[in-house]
Amino acid sequence: MAILPIFVAPAPVLKTKCAPVEAVTPELAKLMDDMLETMYDAPGIGLAAPQVGVSKRILVVDVARNDEEPRPLKIANPEILWASDKMATYEEGCLSFPEQFADVDRPAEVKIRYLDEHNQTQELHADGLLATCIQHEMDHLEGIVFVDHLSTLKRGMIMRKLKKLQKQRAA
């Protein structure tokens, strides 16, 4: 496995709509493993392929706490089959927006269909943090990032703070 470089906003690849995969080949299964390793190393609870510069509909998530067994999910071509009317608010962050956080409202529960690392179709009913995390990562596949859900004012503030942080880090 390998740790991949993570693209930080406003990298254009983060705003690019991703293409479906034809099948989860061994190469793409390896990409999923590399993405998981990259995510655990960061550390984060979700990572989408565009964040490592690959415009394909692939994402990985693991919302297990540190004191729990890992529960990695490797997901390709996810589709939302159902979303609850009930909404939930979580404070979200993103590995492409280091140190930036904001509340985002999303459906509290979703049912999805996807291809797993063995190219098998799976269905999953997610709620709580997992539902939010999957929707956040699925947004990435459309070129949508979490700050796109915020007001122009709040988004502008985050982009300025991010720019300042990157300048500090480069100095």
Mapping DSSP to helix (H, G, I), strand (E, B) and coil, where does residue 3 land? coil
State the catalytic residues: 137
Window of 4-12, 15-23, 86-94, 162-170 that interacts with Ni ion by CB under 5 A: 86-94
- Give me the least distance between CB of 10 and Ni ion, in Å please: 14
Nearer to Ni ion, 58 or 94 (CB): 94
Torsion of CA 85, 129, 26, 2, to 10 degrees: 150
Q: How many CB atoms lie within 10 A of CB 138?
A: 21
Closest approach of Cβ 35 to Ni ion, in Å?
12
Nearer to Ni ion, 52 or 94 (CB): 94
Residues in region 14-43 near Ni ion by CB under 5 A: none
**146 alpha-carbon distance from chain centroid:** 10
Does residue 141 belong to the site contacting Ni ion (CB under 5 A)? no
**From the list 54, 75, 94, 126, which residue makes contact with Ni ion (rule: CB under 5 A)?**
94
Quickly list DSSP for 136-160: HHHHHHTT--GGGGS-HHHHHHHHH
Interface with Ni ion (CB under 5 A)? 94
